[in-house]
A = this chain, B = another copy of it.
Amino acid sequence: MLFRIDAYSTVPIYEQIVSQVIFGVAAGVLRSGELIPSVRELGERVAVHPNTVARAYQELERQGVVTARRGRGMEVTPEAPKLCQTARREILCRRLRETLREAVSSQLSLEEIRRLVEEELARVNGQVK
């Protein structure tokens, strides 16, 4: 699975990691019982300090998505898929809402907004393969 940190994002790095693990589990790419990359491995992979990765993993453990196996790794919990599908929807809805609210309140027409959505969907769909 591809983790991808946007250094220019205003979203803190550890939150980006949290979201991407959630999305990965929701997508079925990370499955219950499997281990997610260690803090050192993921830290190296995305050029981020292991403590920052550990911070993200701590939050994921708090949410019940993973459980720490000290000396072994972080394991995806049995209830993680459901948790993550719910969380994914919430995260996406909130982001869509923020963006669409700005679009609407800046007097773009609904038709224009829908057109932008379709353009970006087509573009993104072509990229994510």
Given A92-B108, A110-B125, A120-B93, do A102 and B10 touch, yes or no (CB 8 Å)? no
> Chain B residues near A123 (CB, 8 Å)?
97
Number of copies of this chain that the complex holds: 2
Instruction: Confirm or deny: A46 has a beta carbon within 8 angstroms of a beta carbon on chain B.
Output: no
Q: Quick check: A93 and B116 within 8 Å, CB to CB? A: yes
Q: Quick check: B102 and A116 within 8 Å, CB to CB? A: no
Dominant secondary structure at the A interface: helix
From residue 96 to 116 of chain A, which have CB atoms closer than 8 A to chain B? 96-108, 110, 113-114, 116
Q: Quick check: B101 and A23 within 8 Å, CB to CB? A: no
> Chain B residues near A125 (CB, 8 Å)?
104, 110
Within the complex, what minimum Cβ distance (angstroms) separates A85 from chain B?
A: 9
Q: Quick check: B120 and A97 within 8 Å, CB to CB? A: yes
Within the complex, what minimum Cβ distance (angstroms) separates A128 from chain B?
A: 5
- Determine, out of A24-32, A35-43, A49-57, A63-71, the stretch whose residues face the partner at the interface: A24-32
Known pairs A27-B106, A92-B108, A110-B125; list 5 more (Cβ under 8 Å).
A9-B98, A101-B124, A104-B128, A105-B128, A110-B121
